[in-house]
Amino acid sequence: MTRDTKRVKKVQVKQRDIPQVTHSSNVRAADTCLRVLQQIAFAEGPQGVTQIAARMGIAKSAVHKHLRTLIDHGMILQDPSTSLYRLGPKVWLMGQKAPHGQALAEIALPLMQAVRDELGLAVVLSVPTPRSAFVL
Whether 41 contacts 14, CB under 8 Å = no
DSSP-assigned letter for residue 118: H
**3-97 is a CATH 1.10.357.10 domain:** no
Task: Tell me which amino acid residue 30 is.
Answer: A
Is the pLDDT reported for residue 21 higher than 50? yes
In the structure, what pLDDT confidence band is assigned to residue 69 with cuts at 50, 70 and 90?
very high
Give the pLDDT confidence of 57-66 residue by residue, as tens digits: 999 999 999 9
Is the pLDDT reported for residue 47 higher than 90? yes
pTM above 0.95, yes or no: no
The whole-number average pLDDT for the span 67-77 is: 96
Q: Show me where the domains of the chain are located.
A: 3-97, 100-136
> Higher confidence at residue 104 or residue 12?
104
